[in-house]
Structure 1
């Protein structure tokens, strides 16, 4: 991928920010976290520590900032980073409305400029997890974490990408892209619902990269749509996502003996 994905994705999210305000407002108001396109419950998935008191946490690609709010309500001191000024404007307004203290930074999650070993916990839900090259943003997350720190991220499952037609139509049951050598997809010039440049790897590619960087894997989850789901979300039909994993969650740790 040689195009300037950062500039492309910033422009996409600046233009689309207004369309996420309603969802952001709803999720800020939710005391119980829900995750991904299908709103799976925190009780089921367990992305966040129950008690984050005394922890420094960072959200990499925060959008409207609702995940940051959930962490702050659990006691964390939170820094939330996004490349889109328009998304951050919504996040700051909602933080003020809910009277929650969060440090929002307009920055690229691949190169945050924050000090080494600043955080105990890092998270990305459809932020850096899909909009940044894994080999870059994961190394930045490693740098930001203290030894013993945790990283959790949620994004598209690679199966959903290889089953996505090249014109941008929703997932179907055919294989439209090669699995070997997967890097992601450029959605900027597709016929249906063009957007930005996203990134993904094969499952073994993710595991290999974690090992190269030094992360250990605590757990891995493949997420399906619930039985009662309907319609299409994020170009994934509910009926497809009930039988194929639409999303994945990685739970990683920076070992205690790791260099900062």
Structure 2
């Protein structure tokens, strides 16, 4: 999160998953309310984009295929919608769209941009781990970051399963687990050293260091994701690893371009709920 003074660093051996009585939902809501104004310009740019681009480095939709070209007649939900541009892209493709986000300040931007673009989207303030929406209400669910990294996987994925109709699809994009394994506990950009165990990876509590974006972020080893999908009942239809394009320079969201050209910076899971 931008701004504020330095915080205490987190020792490597203390990268423990927060206890369930630690309110990661409140922590992450406070983070995004405080940082919402810094994402307005990006939201405006992405709402106006001719074609979707994904992740921190703008990977083109043409190379990933996260959205069907025609979503006419489909009910779609974005879990952790932020400024709502993914919801806008789905509405443009003909879907009946619902977006849910825990941050009222982010939703204020989403509602303004939906009005400006003439998009008829239902935007709800709420927790993607427990939406309160009806069972089997949607054909398609998606999360670009949002629930994909700021919600507990074993909770929000079961909620997504509940929301989907038989034959429904879920797509989500977030940090690759290698990013967290290679990220120093101080919050410095990721590097080529292993800073935390992969075997017991659950995510990182970045709320104790100065980093952008902050909050309590969740992730799993590959085997952990696969076990969780199988336990819930999801079928993995495709898995993608996103590298930073050659020629890019600099650092975004604590990932140096040179690092992300050798190691995957982001991952995309395409899941299906059997009919």
TM-score by length of 1: 0.97
SS in structure 1 at match of 2:89: helix
For residues 189 and 149 of structure 1, the distance between their equivalents in structure 2, rounded to whole angstroms, comes to 38
For residues 199 and 191 of structure 1, the distance between their equivalents in structure 2, rounded to whole angstroms, comes to 17
Aligned CA distance change for structure 1 residues 82 and 189 (closer, same or farther; 3 Å)? same
For residues 228 and 62 of structure 1, the distance between their equivalents in structure 2, rounded to whole angstroms, comes to 30
Q: How big is the shift at 1:119?
A: 0.1
SS in structure 2 at match of 1:13: helix
SS in structure 2 at match of 1:188: helix
Superposed CA RMSD in Å reads 0.8
Give the number of the structure with larger relative contact order, counting CA–CA contacts within 8 Å between residues 6 or more apart.
2
Checking the alignment, whether the CA contact within 8 Å between 2:212 and 2:253 is kept in structure 1 is no
Q: How big is the shift at 1:228?
A: 2.1
Per the alignment, residue 101 of structure 1 pairs with: 120
Say whether 1:84 aligns with 2:94.
no
Checking the alignment, whether the CA contact within 8 Å between 1:168 and 1:194 is kept in structure 2 is no
2:176 equivalent among 117, 139, 157: 157
Checking the alignment, whether the CA contact within 8 Å between 1:31 and 1:70 is kept in structure 2 is no
1:225 equivalent among 244, 251, 255: 244
2:192 equivalent among 158, 162, 173: 173
Aligned CA distance change for structure 1 residues 168 and 106 (closer, same or farther; 3 Å)? same
For residues 150 and 191 of structure 1, the distance between their equivalents in structure 2, rounded to whole angstroms, comes to 36
1:5 equivalent among 24, 37, 42: 24
TM-score by length of 2: 0.92
For residues 16 and 136 of structure 1, the distance between their equivalents in structure 2, rounded to whole angstroms, comes to 25
Aligned CA distance change for structure 1 residues 101 and 159 (closer, same or farther; 3 Å)? same
For residues 193 and 42 of structure 1, the distance between their equivalents in structure 2, rounded to whole angstroms, comes to 25
Per the alignment, residue 147 of structure 1 pairs with: 166
> Which sits farther off after the overlay, 189-198 or 211-220?
189-198
Q: Please list every run of at least 4 consecutive aligned residues from structure 1 whose deviation after the TM superposition is greater than 2 angstroms.
A: 191-194
Checking the alignment, whether the CA contact within 8 Å between 2:213 and 2:253 is kept in structure 1 is no
Unaligned runs of 5+ in 2: 1-17
Q: How big is the shift at 1:192?
A: 4.7
Q: Structure 2 matches for 1:14-53, cutoff 5 A?
A: 14-53=33-72
Checking the alignment, whether the CA contact within 8 Å between 1:188 and 1:194 is kept in structure 2 is no
Q: Structure 2 matches for 1:120-139, cutoff 5 A?
A: 120-139=139-158
Aligned CA distance change for structure 1 residues 228 and 27 (closer, same or farther; 3 Å)? same
2:137 equivalent among 113, 118, 125: 118
Unaligned runs of 5+ in 1: none
